[in-house]
């Protein structure tokens, strides 16, 4: 007789979320004990730090450097940045990728951008052109979770409870918990569950409420779009159910619902 997975004990998901909310933080400066060393006399010994919020979004914070930290030519004290931004430390310019390249053994330290990308790519290669039914269905939890996360992000304990409710409903979560699954399987599950991959970040004490709200808005705008990569028409505040009744994208004719 096969044994059914034992339901996760009370507080187990909360403990996982709490553990994952300790965001990777990298120091930047001229001193050799920094995570990212910049051998430039105009760069301060401890110039700035980079906090990894998601696979694509970071918080860049100036550490009262003498010659400043700039994003897109504007001097900043602290700002959310992504791979589209131009970063300047004193007189030295970098893209975000170029900064991350300064990390020793970066592949081991940095979070993978998309741990399930090979499987997704294989599925897309096999499916008919303009058939985006599966991808469109995955946008429903994005739409549903967005207002919940915005509402609860001001309170860390409430956010953890919200995350527990969302993640408990994901198929397979109890198997990961009861088999002692590590962080990567847990993140893989979250990556397919709407905006739930943001929950550990939103529980972090390293970010302000305004920064958390900005991250939620940016991720929502980036993900809640036509799933056809050649289109990416933003849905804005349009209800998922009404889009489903529409069945296809009026711009690119991608099929959302049969």
Say what the pLDDT of residue 17 is: 84
Say what the pLDDT of residue 134 is: 94
Q: pTM of the full predicted structure?
A: 0.81
Q: Give backbone dihedrals phi and psi of 234, rounded to 5 degrees, phi first.
A: -70, 140
Look at residue 223 and tell me if it is in a domain: yes
Please tell me the distance from the alpha carbon of residue 204 to that of residue 54, in angstroms, as a whole number: 12
Say what the pLDDT of residue 114 is: 42
Look at residue 74 and tell me if it is in a domain: yes
Q: Are residues 18 and 56 in the same domain?
A: yes
Cβ contact 255:248 at 8 Å: yes
How high does pLDDT run on average in the chain? 84
Look at residue 22 and tell me if it is in a domain: yes
14, burial (CB in 10 Å: exposed 0-12, middle 13-18, buried 19+): middle
Q: Which residues of the chain are under the pLDDT cut of 50?
A: 1-8, 107-120, 171, 174, 177-184
Look at residue 199 and tell me if it is in a domain: no
Where are the alpha helices (H) located in 21-105, listed in sequence order? 96-100
For 206-225, the pLDDT digits (tens) are: 999 999 999 999 999 999 99
Q: Are residues 92 and 135 in the same domain?
A: no
Q: Which value, to the nearest 10 degrees, does the dihedral of the CA atoms of residues 138, 141, 143, 144 take?
A: 160
Its domain, for residue 213, covers 129-157+208-257
Say what the pLDDT of residue 96 is: 95
13, burial (CB in 10 Å: exposed 0-12, middle 13-18, buried 19+): buried
Say what the pLDDT of residue 1 is: 44
Q: Which residues pair with 135 in a beta bridge?
A: none
């Amino acid at each position: 007789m096969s044994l059914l997975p034992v339901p996760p004990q009370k507080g187990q998901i909360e403990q996982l979320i709490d553990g994952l909310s300790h965001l990777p933080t990298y120091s930047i400066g001229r001193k050799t004990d920094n995570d990212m060393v910049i051998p430039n006399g105009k760069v301060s010994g401890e110039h700035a730090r980079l906090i990894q919020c998601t696979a694509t979004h970071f918080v860049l914070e100036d550490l009262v450097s003498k010659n400043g930290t700039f994003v897109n030519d504007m001097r900043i004290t602290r700002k959310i940045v992504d791979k589209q931004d131009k970063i300047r430390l004193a007189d030295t310019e970098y893209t975000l990728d170029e900064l991350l390249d300064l990390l020793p053994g970066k592949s081991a330290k940095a979070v993978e951008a998309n741990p399930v990308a090979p499987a997704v790519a294989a599925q897309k290669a096999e499916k008919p052109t303009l058939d985006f039914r599966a991808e469109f269905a995955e946008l429903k939890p994005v739409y549903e979770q967005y207002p919940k996360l915005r509402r609860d992000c001001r309170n860390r304990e409430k956010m953890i409870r919200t995350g527990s409710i969302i993640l408990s409903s994901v198929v397979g979560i109890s198997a990961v918990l009861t088999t002692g699954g590590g962080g990567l399987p847990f993140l893989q599950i979250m990556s397919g569950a709407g905006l739930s991959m943001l929950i550990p970040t939103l529980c972090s004490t390293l970010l302000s409420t305004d920064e958390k709200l900005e991250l939620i808005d940016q991720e929502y705008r980036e993900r809640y779009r036509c799933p056809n990569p050649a289109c990416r028409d933003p849905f804005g505040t349009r209800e998922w159910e009404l889009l489903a009744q529409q069945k296809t994208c009026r711009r690119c004719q991608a099929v959302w619902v049969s």
